Structure 1
Amino acid sequence: MAMEPVSFSESGGIRYLHFGSELIQGAMRMRDPDEIYLEYNQQMMAWLLFLETKPGMHAAQLGLGTGALTKFTHRHCPAVKSTVVELNPSVIISARTMFFTPDDDRRLETLQLDAKAFVCNSKYKNVFDAVQVDLYDAICDGPSASSLDFYQGCFDILKSPGVLTVNLFSRHKSFQVNLNHLCEAFDNRVLLFPESHDCNVVAIAFKGPILNVEWKEVSKRAKVLMEKTGLPTNTWASGLHRENAHQESKLFI
């Protein structure tokens, strides 16, 4: 199968990743390579709102891009091991050479694999505390993995409790298809962030015990996260509260 060509551009101190078109597949601020520059990418770290990191935790990143999530986890979550799944070898090389993603070590494993095959492999069943899905091709008209089987696989590789975050494209017919499959696989335990730039909407899905928590506690946790990591999490609780029906009095999902 032919892989999409990888190219780069720079403007105003930002380096961008492209897959054979002008569409942006990722970005990095040159003076702060470990910062997560794009808002939707920042929201992909929202599993940290619901899971306290501790030794032995394992996160999977499906789709490497510029390595923004990988770098952030490696730097700010030293107790967490990351497994990155990326099919295109050129993306793996460019993440390391152009976007300063670290080489594999005892906390980082990179697999050149199809994410659809990865989530259906029984050896990964109940392995990961968090799974982050950002799988797009050059056309960018919706996630390149969107079937019910794929999302069921994501559910299966999560531990209980476990949290999935996934980047969806809101203004395309793929959005409702992905959302329906995600809700079916996760028994409707899905929250949406408000739409961010370029029509990205990050969904959060939950596996395990029911969450029953006051929104003020979520806000408090978000503030701690911002202080620890620099992520601009101060609007996360209010955005989730506002965007999701039946969550008005407290977060119950």
Structure 2
Amino acid sequence: MKAGANAAARRRSGPQTLPEVTLSEDGEVRFLHLGTEWIQGSMLIDAPFVIELDYVQRMMAWLLFVEPDSVPKRRAMQLGLGSAALTKFCFKACRMDTTAVEINPQVLAACRGWFKLPADGPRLRVVLADAAEEVRKPEHTGRIDALQVDLYDHEAAAPVLDSPDFYVDCRSVLSDDGLMTVNLFGRDASYERSLQSMATAFGEDALWAFKPTREGNTIVLAQRTPERPTRMQLLARAEAVQLRWGLPAVKWLKLFKPVS
């Protein structure tokens, strides 16, 4: 449903292979598209720093596994900028040091011009790069506490980067208690293949998954260091997340469980 890169662009490189960015509006919501009708991201026009889509809210489920007071001291990274909803939320609401990686300069320009993405500064930076190459850079190793991966081509058929080797690289950027959330969308076979790739890199006991949204987005969470908090511990954390950041975290617990 959302795109951060284009598969053809990764194979051939060059601006001519990147899809055209377009916008649409429906009442109070502005949408980002990459040359198709597929929605790549959205923003409430009157509340630009609120996460509008359910599946994007669920990409913040890593908050269930960390102490709320520790969040502003942590680092977030998004692979795929989309409409910058996660980047803005981590930067503005969570007060985190935030890096986003995006391959398409048109997406960055749209986010700055139409989706209220702030300019780069001491706590915020957007890197125009191939996500697969960026996560292999040594300066990121072991430094990211929350990695959010949403990399689809403009047709939203399957993730652009989805191999076990890619997820090994993702795991390498995480801190000891770091977590990765991934948006998976598409056919069941694609989902199972993605899940197996993550299990190869992280171990099956490190994976948690939501039930699919109505639109078919399934958010999977992977822990750098597997742990299984009790239901009561998760409920207490969910209540704190909901109170502090306004995310529907208590509802998440009805839809979210370990993969194995």
Q: Give the TM-score taking structure 2 as reference length.
A: 0.89
**CA distance change for structure 1 residues 154 and 238 in 2, over 3 Å: closer, same or farther?**
same
Query: 1:47 aligned to 2:55?
Result: no
Which residue identity does 2:119 align to in structure 1?
Answer: D
- Kept after mapping to 2: 8 A contact 1:128/1:162: yes
2:146 maps to 130
- Kept after mapping to 1: 8 A contact 2:83/2:115: yes
- Kept after mapping to 2: 8 A contact 1:44/1:132: yes
- Kept after mapping to 1: 8 A contact 2:102/2:131: yes
- Kept after mapping to 1: 8 A contact 2:178/2:223: yes
List gaps (5 residues or longer) in structure 2: 1-12
CA distance in 2, matches of 1:166, 1:27: 18
1:225 maps to 241
1:73 maps to 90
1:23 maps to 38
| Pairwise CA distance, 1:212 | 3.5
- Kept after mapping to 2: 8 A contact 1:116/1:150: yes
- Kept after mapping to 1: 8 A contact 2:209/2:256: yes
List gaps (5 residues or longer) in structure 1: 247-253
- Kept after mapping to 2: 8 A contact 1:141/1:172: no
- Kept after mapping to 1: 8 A contact 2:72/2:94: no
2:214 maps to 197
- Kept after mapping to 1: 8 A contact 2:157/2:186: no
Structure 1 residues 129-208: aligned runs within 5 Å: 129-188=145-204, 189-208=206-225
CA distance in 2, matches of 1:122, 1:57: 18
Give the SS at the match of 1:146. coil
1:249 maps to none
Structure 1 residues 54-93: aligned runs within 5 Å: 54=71, 56-78=73-95, 80-93=96-109
**CA distance change for structure 1 residues 220 and 67 in 2, over 3 Å: closer, same or farther?**
same
Number of residues of Structure 1 aligned to a counterpart in Structure 2: 242
**CA distance change for structure 1 residues 146 and 245 in 2, over 3 Å: closer, same or farther?**
closer
1:39-85: CA deviations, max 9, x gaps? 0100001111112334542111100010000111112212x201110
Provide the aligned C-alpha RMSD in A: 1.4
Which residue identity does 1:68 align to in structure 2?
Answer: A
| Pairwise CA distance, 1:229 | 0.9
2:18 maps to 3
**CA distance change for structure 1 residues 177 and 212 in 2, over 3 Å: closer, same or farther?**
closer
- Kept after mapping to 2: 8 A contact 1:170/1:201: no
Query: 1:117 aligned to 2:133?
Result: yes
| Pairwise CA distance, 1:245 | 5.7
| Pairwise CA distance, 1:12 | 2.1
Query: 1:103 aligned to 2:119?
Result: yes
Which stretches of structure 1, 4 residues or longer, exceed 3 Å deviation after superposition? none
| Pairwise CA distance, 1:171 | 2.6
Which residue identity does 1:38 align to in structure 2?
Answer: L
